[in-house]
């Protein structure tokens, strides 16, 4: 599976590379430093039946991964997409989504993606790729609202919601 600069490679035995990327994903996404065992646990879960775990290969370097999953039907949920920091803003994430769409189209009529409301870069990327149908809405109640900052206010079905992020420090 090749498109321009990158290839999607199905995970077989690249455990060291996969775990390093998974740890990077959690660090960059949530500021959480995973243990090796936690990364191995994610890898084990994400390679079970009902999942498809592909590594993103640029030349001879693994620069990211994509994790697809099933939520009861076909494997048609893009669960996680990660491109390592130094490779971002080069179009690789866009290429990966387009490549994955071609794979998922062979067995499903739709592909689903969730993004944290605060992850505006991901939302912009997915929207620009044609993901413009709302499927589900996830809502949250913060028990310690002072720990969060409102970054935007949105209205859905004439109801007001806030998009919040954790206050650093």
Torsion of CA 135, 99, 115, 79, to 10 degrees: 90
pLDDT band at 38; cut points 50, 70, 90: very high
Of all residues in the chain, the percent with pLDDT exceeding 90 is 77
Instruction: Read off the pLDDT of residues 146-166 as tens digits, 9 standing for 90 and up.
Output: 999 999 999 988 999 999 988
Cα(55)–Cα(67) distance, integer angstroms: 9
- At residue 1, does pLDDT exceed 60? no
For domain 2-136, the question of CATH label 3.40.50.1980 is answered with no
- At residue 101, does pLDDT exceed 70? yes
pLDDT of 169: 59
Average pLDDT over residues 94-112: 95
Q: Residue 126: how many CB atoms within 10 A of its CB?
A: 20
Please, are residues 65 and 19 in contact by the beta-carbon 8 Å criterion? no
Average pLDDT over residues 3-10: 84
- DSSP state string for 99-155: HHHHHHTTT-S--EE---TT-HHHHHHHHHTT------------SSGGGEEEEEEEE
**Angle formed by the axes of helices 120-128 and 92-104, to 10°?**
50
Average pLDDT over residues 39-53: 96
Average pLDDT over residues 2-14: 84
* Burial bucket for residue 25 (CB in 10 Å: 0-12, 13-18, 19+): buried
Average pLDDT over residues 60-85: 94
* In the block, residue with structure tokens 């409301």: 117
Mean pLDDT of the chain: 92
- At residue 119, does pLDDT exceed 70? yes
Average pLDDT over residues 100-128: 92
What residue ranges of the chain are covered by domains with CATH 3.40.630.30?
2-136
Q: Which two tokens stand for residue 112?
A: 């689903």
pLDDT of 125: 92
pLDDT of 2: 43
| Strand pairing category for 112-113 and 2-3 | unpaired
């Amino acid at each position: 599976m090749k498109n321009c600069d990158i290839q999607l490679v199905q995970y077989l035995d690249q455990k060291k590379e996969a775990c390093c990327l998974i740890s990077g994903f959690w660090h960059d996404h949530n500021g959480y430093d995973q243990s090796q065992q936690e990364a191995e646990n994610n890898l084990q879960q994400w390679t079970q039946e009902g999942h498809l775990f592909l590594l993103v290969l640029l030349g001879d370097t693994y620069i990211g991964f994509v994790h697809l999953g099933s939520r009861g039907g076909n494997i048609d949920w893009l669960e996680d997409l990660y491109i390592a920091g130094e490779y971002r803003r080069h179009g690789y994430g866009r290429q990966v989504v387009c490549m994955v769409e071609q794979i998922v189209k062979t067995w499903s009529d739709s592909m689903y993606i969730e993004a944290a409301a605060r992850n505006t870069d991901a939302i912009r990327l997915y929207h620009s790729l044609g993901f413009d149908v709302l499927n589900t809405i996830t809502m949250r109640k913060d028990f310690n609202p002072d720990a969060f900052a409102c970054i935007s206010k949105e209205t859905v079905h004439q109801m007001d919601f806030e998009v919040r992020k954790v206050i650093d420090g």
